[in-house]
Amino acid sequence: MKRKLFGTDGVRGTANTYPMTAEMALKLGAAAGRHFRRDGSNGHRVVIGKDTRLSGYMFETALTAGLTSTGMNVLLLGPVPAPAVGFLTRSMRADLGIMVSASHNAHQDNGIKFFGPDGFKLSDADEAAIEEIAMGEITPAQPANIGRVKRIEAAGGRYVEYAKTTLARGTSFSGMKVVLDSANGAAHRVAPQLLWELGAEVINIGNTPDGTNINRDCGSTYPRHCAAKVLETGADLGITLDGDADRVILIDERGQIADGDQLMALFARRFAQAGLLREGVLVATVMSNLGLERYLERNGLRMERTAVGDRYVVERMRQGGWNLGGEQSGHIVMSDYATTGDGMLAALQFLAAMVETGKPASMLSHCFEPVPQMLRNLRTAPGVDLLSQAEVKAVIEDAKQRLEGRGRLLIRKSGTEPLVRVMAECEDEALMAEIVNGIIAEMEAVA
């Protein structure tokens, strides 16, 4: 069955527009309940977390109604990071975890992500099964078997306590000044608490959510405000999260930005030196810079590339038995500690490296010189497949021939937004720009 609802990271779209409607959320909740409550008993439970979007209340309520209607007991976590939902699903022995968030998207979007009882995101097969049930008639539970609902007030605190256990015993960030931008999102409470409990002086920005300002001119997709604050306050490090805190971008004491590729390079080297990097492999996506791949090779390590999306990174890690992966965008997956990308755990590991080495952030956050890379996005109309147009295909084929042996070209549809992404890497920046701009221009001409 071809999936109509689920994309690369759950169900996502504009709130109150199909498929992100309260009606569909209720159906998805009921379908997930029916799928996971296989034995008909009343001992099944689901944890639901969310970020700070205004529409989160609507979807949390609709999902709860659907789940309880099929006999699932629901534990409401409130605003918590997405990786906390993965952790708490497993920790609280739940059958299912749900995060209501559209991650780095603007406030008008929202999404529903599902986690299995092991804390990992659901398989394609489970998502397809839930979608098929949602599209049909769903049998409700008998009145006596309707599920119960309970709000878990200390959910954030449980995650904070766990996060501290990922560091060596006695690790302290005392004397360190950190600017923290929580993107007015899910981590606006737990992230400052976590750093404060570890001894850091925390300067908070992006921590006053109002339902509509999540990711707006802040967070990992807009790190310039954090960089300016680092320079203004003389901070040792800037940490920028996205709306659900599963990704992080860091700022060094000079105001320079370090993306996920640089963090993966640092962690891969440190893990390998400590004998912790399994088989010397780092899993990254096709978007990661060629410079990272070359850096790993120089250090006797190897990169495994996957399709874009942290779920594909995690799947490849699990298949190969590897324990480190991520994306250039800042998803860092350390499977020894978490089941998905976790921005705060990555930030903690970086701070720990600063403490252990005594080096400033600028000496740790620039491991390699990136190959020049250019990325442009083109928004597309619904139902229009620009990449199937003959004129566009011809331009792309010509571009590949011109780049052969000199760089890389990657063109793909976004799995979370109506966008076509065109990315090229090449030491010849003029050629790179000519190729990317030419492809975009051709797609605009036939759109």
pLDDT of amino acid 243? 98
Give, in order, the Cα–Cα distances in Å from 378 to each of 289, 430, 447: 21, 20, 10
pLDDT in tens, 412-422: 888 777 889 99
Q: Are residues 138 and 175 in the same domain?
A: no
Report the catalytic residues: 103
The reply to whether 360 falls in a domain is no
Contact 308, 286 (CB under 8 A): yes
Q: Which residue has the higher pLDDT, 85 or 380?
A: 85
State how far the Cα of 379 lies from the Cα of 219, in Å rounded to an integer.
22
Task: Work out the angle at residue 307's Cα, subtended by the Cα atoms of residues 280 and 311, and round it to the nearest 5 degrees.
Answer: 80
Domain containing residue 384: CATH number: 3.30.310.50
Q: Are residues 250 and 283 in the same domain?
A: no
For the chain, the C-alpha Rg in angstroms (whole number) is 22
Check whether 424 has a pLDDT greater than 70. Answer: yes
Q: Are residues 147 and 167 in the same domain?
A: no
Q: Are residues 334 and 289 in the same domain?
A: yes
Q: Are residues 277 and 401 in the same domain?
A: no
Average pLDDT over residues 84-109: 97
The reply to whether 363 falls in a domain is no
Q: Token pair of 195, please? A: 């750093």
pLDDT of amino acid 427? 92
pLDDT of amino acid 2? 64
Mean pLDDT taken over the chain? 95
Question: How large a percentage of the chain has pLDDT more than 70?
Answer: 99
Q: Are residues 75 and 90 in the same domain?
A: yes
Q: Which residue has the higher pLDDT, 186 or 4?
A: 186
- Containing domain of residue 299, as a range? 258-342
pLDDT of amino acid 114? 97
The count of structural domains within the chain is 4
Residue type (1 letter), 335: S
Check whether 364 has a pLDDT greater than 90. Answer: yes
Q: Which one of 131, 153, 175 terminates a domain?
A: 153
Q: Are residues 338 and 379 in the same domain?
A: no
State how far the Cα of 117 lies from the Cα of 96, in Å rounded to an integer.
5
Closest CA to 202 of 256, 238, 164: 238
Average pLDDT over residues 182-189: 98
pLDDT in tens, 242-258: 999 999 999 999 999 99
Q: How confident is the model at residue 333 (pLDDT cuts 50, 70, 90)?
A: very high
Residue type (1 letter), 151: R
Side-chain half-sphere of 327: how many Cα atoms within 13 Å? 23
Q: Are residues 169 and 270 in the same domain?
A: no
Q: Are residues 79 and 173 in the same domain?
A: no
Residue type (1 letter), 358: G
pLDDT of amino acid 38? 72
Q: Are residues 15 and 136 in the same domain?
A: yes
Q: Are residues 290 and 389 in the same domain?
A: no
Domain containing residue 167: CATH number: 3.40.120.10
Average pLDDT over residues 82-101: 97
